[in-house]
């Protein structure tokens, strides 16, 4: 067992933040040897229950759950900040040429190391990631995550049409490859597989049908795609699938809407789409820096809350402009401010933080497993330094409430705030 004394941030089941100014976090192995939160609470109330246990004291620091990035593209790391008129030209000019390089093993392996280093440097301990359409890109990312003991979910992109040579895959083979990758990686250590149709316009009916059949055969596997991001894209999807009621309904028509299905963007929705998200248990990966950068639009928080569907925060690198959850939370705040509902929402910092931790875990169906520090959760946590920069030190020192403290971190914070990242170990492996 290990114990840490510092301020501790976690979340209650009702999404509210629980904050111990002087807290104790005790972690230890569960029945399978996986390091989990054993106990957490006020230091003075809890410490007497653990006589003799060495406690690492971290004065002035905050322990918080590791962040979860609900949608990110591993092969787009090197194209962050590539401007284009909008989504479709951006895909043609930058994304497809970059992703075509991921058929090369060495390139995929080199970038997998950099990508996971970068996530961890920013305090992100779990991601739901797109690889490229080439199976070696999945193998490289999974192998590197496994080596580090990370909980990571990823998948091979499906795109058998409207895609250039170099990234376009072949219908039958793409489905065989996806199933092979599920068998190889899903449920191995802390890894999960996601069936990954790029978006409806890049997939033939046969490919979507095959993806839906795989999803039915492997209900524990995740599904990830894009939907209703950009108005031109929406128009194109509707033209390609005229029988479907809406862009989102295409995925439902092919059996791709269910629990553990995560759709990035979800901007240009109507209330029937929102009701379908809620009814099927699918979740939205809100990607505010990407949507602002590519001019895609604003996620409608008020509409999502009214319909009661699940959502969480995502970087969407490389459309997104930063790996930093602080930058993403701040952009989400701006989106709430300027979004569809007038006069605009003022999302609380606790809710922004929840969307990137416990809320994202709930979207993945992994509540109680990651994204929180309640007893039983896997011990993926970060240690924050609220005085990491001179301005942060001044601002956080004068914060009178939890909301002020979290807002100061969201507005002024970045990777400099992340002092330490701790990943849950398999203690059986450590021993053997």
Note the residues at the interface with Zn ion (CB under 5 A): 264, 316
290 binds ligand GUN (CB under 6 A): yes
Contact window for ligand GUN (CB under 6 A) among 6-14, 87-95, 134-142, 213-221: 87-95
Q: Name which of 200 and 418 has its Cβ closer to ligand GUN.
A: 200
- Residue 207's binding partner among ligand GUN, Zn ion, none (Cβ under 5 to 8 angstroms by kind) is none
Q: Site size for ligand GUN, by CB under 6 A?
A: 11
Q: Which of 5, 61, 73, 274 binds ligand GUN (CB under 6 A)?
A: 73
Q: Which of 160, 273, 316, 378 binds ligand GUN (CB under 6 A)?
A: 316
293 binds ligand GUN (CB under 6 A): no
Report residue 72: phi and psi, to 5°.
-150, 150
- Residue 229's binding partner among Zn ion, ligand GUN, none (Cβ under 5 to 8 angstroms by kind) is ligand GUN
- Residue 323's binding partner among Zn ion, ligand GUN, none (Cβ under 5 to 8 angstroms by kind) is none
Q: Which of 29, 155, 319, 336 binds ligand GUN (CB under 6 A)?
A: 319
226 binds ligand GUN (CB under 6 A): yes
CA distance 24 to 190: 26
Q: Count CA atoms within 13 Å of residue 167 on its CB side.
A: 26
Kindly write out the interface string for residues 127-166 of this chain, putting x where it contacts ligand GUN by CB under 6 A and - elsewhere: ----------------------------------------
Interacting residues with ligand GUN between 13 and 52 (CB under 6 A): none
Q: Name which of 229 and 252 has its Cβ closer to ligand GUN.
A: 229
Q: Name which of 355 and 372 has its Cβ closer to Zn ion.
A: 355
CB 76, min distance to Zn ion, A: 8
CA distance 128 to 155: 9
CB 76, min distance to ligand GUN, A: 6
Cβ(155)–Cβ(181) below 8 Å: yes
- Residue 87's binding partner among ligand GUN, Zn ion, none (Cβ under 5 to 8 angstroms by kind) is ligand GUN
Q: Which of 6, 77, 95, 348 binds ligand GUN (CB under 6 A)?
A: 95
Q: Name which of 264 and 388 has its Cβ closer to Zn ion.
A: 264
299 binds ligand GUN (CB under 6 A): no
Q: Name which of 229 and 300 has its Cβ closer to ligand GUN.
A: 229
Beta strands 35-42; 17-29: pairing state: antiparallel
Report residue 300: phi and psi, to 5°.
-90, 90
87 binds ligand GUN (CB under 6 A): yes
Closest-by-Cβ residue to ligand GUN is 319
Q: Name which of 35 and 100 has its Cβ closer to ligand GUN.
A: 100
- Residue 95's binding partner among ligand GUN, Zn ion, none (Cβ under 5 to 8 angstroms by kind) is ligand GUN
Burial of 130 (0-12, 13-18, 19+ CB in 10 A): buried
- Residue 300's binding partner among ligand GUN, Zn ion, none (Cβ under 5 to 8 angstroms by kind) is none
247 binds ligand GUN (CB under 6 A): no
Distances (CA, A) of 113 to 133, 255, 392: 19, 34, 30
Query: Could you tell me the two tokens for 344?
Result: 């605009």
Q: What is the sign of the dihedral through the CA atoms of 425, 284, 359 and 331?
A: positive
- Residue 356's binding partner among ligand GUN, Zn ion, none (Cβ under 5 to 8 angstroms by kind) is none
CA distance 1 to 269: 48
Q: Which of 5, 98, 198, 260 binds ligand GUN (CB under 6 A)?
A: 198
Chain residues that interact with ligand GUN, rule: CB under 6 A = 73, 87, 91, 95, 198-199, 226, 229, 290, 316, 319
């Amino acid at each position: 067992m290990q114990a840490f004394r510092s301020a501790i941030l976690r979340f209650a089941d009702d999404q509210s933040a629980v904050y111990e100014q002087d807290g104790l976090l005790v972690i230890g192995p569960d029945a399978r040897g996986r390091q989990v939160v054993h106990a957490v609470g006020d230091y003075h109330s809890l410490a007497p229950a653990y006589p003799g246990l060495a406690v690492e004291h971290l004065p002035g620091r905050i322990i918080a759950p590791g962040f979860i990035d609900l949608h990110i593209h591993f092969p787009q790391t090197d194209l962050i900040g590539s401007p284009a008129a909008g989504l479709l030209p951006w895909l043609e000019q930058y994304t497809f040429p970059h992703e075509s390089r991921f058929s090369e093993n060495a390139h995929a392996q080199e970038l997998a190391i950099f990508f996971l280093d970068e996530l961890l440097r920013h305090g992100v301990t779990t991601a739901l990631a797109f690889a490229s359409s080439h199976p070696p890109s999945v193998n490289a990312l999974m192998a590197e995550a496994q080596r580090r003991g990370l909980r990571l979910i990823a998948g091979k992109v499906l795109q058998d049409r409207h895609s250039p040579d170099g990234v376009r895959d072949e219908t039958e083979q793409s489905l065989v490859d996806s199933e092979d990758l599920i068998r190889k990686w899903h449920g191995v250590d802390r890894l999960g597989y996601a069936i990954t149709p790029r978006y409806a316009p890049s997939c033939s009916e046969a490919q979507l049908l095959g993806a839906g059949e795989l999803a039915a055969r492997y209900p524990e596997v995740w599904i990830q795609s894009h939907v209703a991001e950009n108005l031109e894209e929406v128009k194109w999807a509707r033209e390609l699938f005229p029988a479907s009621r809406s862009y989102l309904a295409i995925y439902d028509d092919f059996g791709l809407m269910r629990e553990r299905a995560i759709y990035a963007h979800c901007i240009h929705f109507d209330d029937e789409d929102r009701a379908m998200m809620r009814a099927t248990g699918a979740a939205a990966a809100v990607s505010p820096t990407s949507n602002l950068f590519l001019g895609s639009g604003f996620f409608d928080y008020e509409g999502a809350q009214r319909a009661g569907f699940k959502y969480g925060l995502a970087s969407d690198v490389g459309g997104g402009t930063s790996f930093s959850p602080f930058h993403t939370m701040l952009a989400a705040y701006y989106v709430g401010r300027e979004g569809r509902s007038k006069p605009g929402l003022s999302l609380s910092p606790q809710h922004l933080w929840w969307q990137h931790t416990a809320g994202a875990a709930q979207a993945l169906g992994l509540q109680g497993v990651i994204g929180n520090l309640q007893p039983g959760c896997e011990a993926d946590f970060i240690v924050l330094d609220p005085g990491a920069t001179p301005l942060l030190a001044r601002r956080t020192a004068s914060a009178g409430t939890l909301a002020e403290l979290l807002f100061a971190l969201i507005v002024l914070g970045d990777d400099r705030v992340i002092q330490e990242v701790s990943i849950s170990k398999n203690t059986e492996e450590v021993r053997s």
